[in-house]
Structure 1
C-alpha cells in the first residue's frame, strides 16, 4: 500500500500532462489544465499532500521521501517560475544520481551498506554479496539517471512515458535480477 501511495503524484502528473489543454473554472477563477505546466503544479501539490499525510501519520518521512519532495519542489518551482520544462526534465536524473551517491557513500560511512541497512532485517547475506549488491544499485541509479536525461532531451514526445513507465519497468526488471542473484546466497538459519 505504501508503494502505491508514493506513485499517486506521479500518476496524476502523467494524467494531467497527457490531457489536451483546457480551461477549468473554479468559482470566479479560471485555471489551465493539461500539458507540462499544470501537470507540474499537480505534481507539486499532490506531493505535498501525500508526503505531508505520511509525515502526519508516521511523524517522520523516509530520507528518500525527503529527497524526492525537495527535488519536486525545487525543479517544479523553477519549471513554473521560468516557464521552462527543461528544469523538470532534470529532476529525475538528479534524484537518481543522489541515490547513487547515497548508496556509494554508505560503503565508507558506517558498518553496513545502505542496502544492508534497508534489507538486513529480512535477509542474511555474506558481506561481499551485500557490497556487490550495493555497488550494483550505484551503477543502476547512475545508468537510470543517464537514460532519463537522454530520453528527456532527445525524445521529447515520449519522455513522460519513459519517466513513468520505462523507469518503473527497468527498476522492476533490475529488482528481479537482484532477487535471482541473492537467492543463491541467502543463508538460512539451521534449527
Structure 2
C-alpha cells in the first residue's frame, strides 16, 4: 500500500493532464494538491513525517508555484530533475560519510522487513551499486532537462510517462541482476527456496525507512 501511495502525485498529474485535454496548468494544480495530501495523510497513517515526501513537497511547491504564477510550464518540467539531483546528492554524501553507504543501509532495512534477514554483499559491491544509482539519478535528471527544452510539452509528458518508466524498469532490473549475481550461493538458495528454511523471527524494524525512489 505504501509503495502505491508514494506514486499518488504522479498518477494525479498524468490523469489530470490527459483527462483535461492536455492542460498542464490544471495538472500542476493537481500535483501540488496530491503531494500536499500525501504528506498530511502519511503523517496521519504512519504517525511520522516522511522526509522524502517532505522534500518532494518542497520542490513541488516551489516549481509548481512558479509555473502557476508565471504561467510558464518550464518550471514544472524542472521538478523531476531537481528531485533526481537531490537524491543523487544524498547518495553521494552517504557514499563518503558512512562506513556502510546509504544505499546499503536502506536495502538492509528493506531486506529485514521483507525477508527477516540481510543478504551479505562485500563493501565493494555496495559501493558500485551506490555509484550506479548516483549516475542513474544524474543521468535521468539531465535527460529530463534535455527533453523539456528541446521538445514540446506533450512530447515531454508522454516520454516522462512511458520513456522514463521503461528506463526505470531497465535500470532496476539491471541492479537486481548485479545484486543476484554477487550474492553468496547460500543466500541465493535461502532467498529463492525459503520453504526449505526454518522460519526466523524478523528483526525490529527501524522507524526511519525512507526509500530512494523515482518520485517524479
Is the TM-score greater than 0.5?
yes
TM-score range, shorter chain: 0.7 to 0.9
Q: Does 2:161 match 1:161?
A: no
Aligned CA RMSD, in angstroms, stands at 1.8
Runs (4+) off by over 4 Å: none
- Report the alpha carbon displacement of residue 20 of structure 1 after superposing the two structures with TM: 4.3
Larger relative strand fraction: 1
Query: 1:96 and 1:103, CA in 2 relative to 1: closer, same or farther beyond 3 A?
Result: same
Q: TM-score, normalised by structure 1?
A: 0.86
Q: TM-score, normalised by structure 2?
A: 0.77
The answer to whether the 8 A contact 1:10-1:164 is kept is: no
The answer to whether the 8 A contact 1:51-1:69 is kept is: yes
User: 1:68 and 1:168 mapped to 2: Cα distance?
Assistant: 18
Pick from 58, 63, 67: which aligns with 2:46?
58
Aligned to 1:18: 18
Aligned positions of 1:1-191 closer than 5 A: 1-20=1-20, 35-121=23-109, 122=111, 123-156=119-152, 157-187=154-184, 188=186
Partner secondary structure for residue 84 of structure 1: coil
The answer to whether the 8 A contact 2:25-2:73 is kept is: yes
Task: Please list the CA deviations of residues 140-181 of structure 1 after superposition, one character each: whole Å capped at 9, or x if unmatched.
Answer: 001000111111111213111222332222111101000111
Aligned residues: 179
Relative contact order higher in (CA < 8 Å, ≥ 6 apart): 2
User: 2:59 and 2:84 mapped to 1: Cα distance?
Assistant: 11
User: 2:31 and 2:17 mapped to 1: Cα distance?
Assistant: 10
